[in-house]
Amino acid sequence: MVALWLLGCVPDEVTLNLKLANLAPEGSIIASDSSTHDVKFAPGLVVVHDDTVSLFTPGAAASPELESAAEDGSPQAFIDALTGADGVYSVALLTHEDEVTYEAAAMLPGQDGRRQITGPGDAFVSVAFMFGESNDVFFANAEPLPLWQKGANAGDWTSSLALWDAGTERNQEPGLGPDQAPRQAAAGDGEVEGGVITAVEGVDANGYVYPGVADVASLVAEAPATE
C-alpha cells in the first residue's frame, strides 16, 4: 500500500469493512411530557458508486425513494432503484439484521451493523438511514466518501455524517409525534410538507431538538484483516 501511495496509483479494487453503531444511552430522548425514548436507527443502505451518483441534493426536493426511507424507515425502494443503475457498483443494507423495515430491524442503543464493501479504487461511498423518532429526519453523508485516496481510506467516518430533514412530512416532537414510524398507523401517514432537504443542526425549523450526530452514531471503516 505504501508503494501504491508513493507511485500515486489507484488500485483496481478496494475492500473495506464498514461498521455503523448506535452509541446513544437508553432513554436519551427526553420529551416535553418528561417521557423518555431511545434513539433508534432504521435499516440503512450503503452504496458504492462513481462520481455521477448522489443519493440526494441539499436544497432540492427528496426523491420518492428517499422519502420512503426517511419517513417510514424502509430503504427497499432506494435499494431497488439503485441496484443495477448506471454508475452504481453495489448497494447493500447497513443494519444489524438482514431485514429492510424499521419495524423488523430498528437498531437500538448498543447495537451495530457491519457490511463489507468493495469497489474500484476511484469509487465513492454513500450511506443513509432514518432517525427513528422523527417524521422524516435521516442521517447521511452529503459529500460521497472516496473509497480509496492516497492509500486505503480506512478510519473514523463519523464526522462525514449529518442529520437532514427530507422536507416531505411536517415535523412533530421527537418521541411523541403520532405520525412517526414507531407510532404511525400506516406508512406514509403525516402531513405533507412539500419542502426541500435541509440540514438539521441541533434544532429544526419548528424548534424541536435533535442529538448531536457524534453523540449517538459511529461510522468506522477498517481494512480487512490479512492472513
pLDDT digits (tens, 9 = 90+) for 32-77: 999 999 999 999 999 999 999 999 999 999 999 999 999 998 999 9
CATH of the domain at 144: 2.60.40.2130
Q: Which three cell numbers stand for residue 130?
A: 432514518
Residue 40's domain comprises 2-222
Report pLDDT for 5: 43
Give the burial string for 98-108 (b: 16+ CB within 10 Å, else e): eebbbeebbbe
38 located within any domain: yes
Q: What pLDDT was estimated at residue 104?
A: 85
Q: Is 227 part of a structural domain of the chain?
A: no
Instruction: Pick the closest to residue 148 from 182, 176, 116, 123 (CA basis).
Output: 123
**Domain membership flag for residue 180:** yes
63 in a domain, yes or no? yes
Ranges under pLDDT 70 in the chain: 1-8, 11, 149-153, 188-190, 225-227
198 beta partners:
165
Helix (H) or strand (E) holding 46: strand 44-49
Contact 217, 41 (CB under 8 A): yes
Q: Identify whether 189 is part of a domain.
A: yes
**DSSP character string of 113-125:** EEEEEEE-TT-EE
C-alpha cell recorded at residue 106: 430498528
Collapse the DSSP code of 180 into the 3-class scheme (helix H, G, I; strand E, B; otherwise coil) and give the result.
Answer: coil
Supply φ then ψ for residue 37, to 5 degrees: -140, 150
Per the confidence metrics, is the pTM higher than 0.75? yes
Neighbour count for residue 42 (Cβ, 10 Å): 28
How many structural domains compose the chain?
Answer: 1
In a domain, 18, yes or no: yes
User: Cα(209)–Cα(196) distance, rounded to whole angstroms?
Assistant: 19
Contact call for residues 171 and 134 (beta carbons, < 8 A): yes
- CA–CA gap between residue 138 and residue 115 (Å, rounded): 19
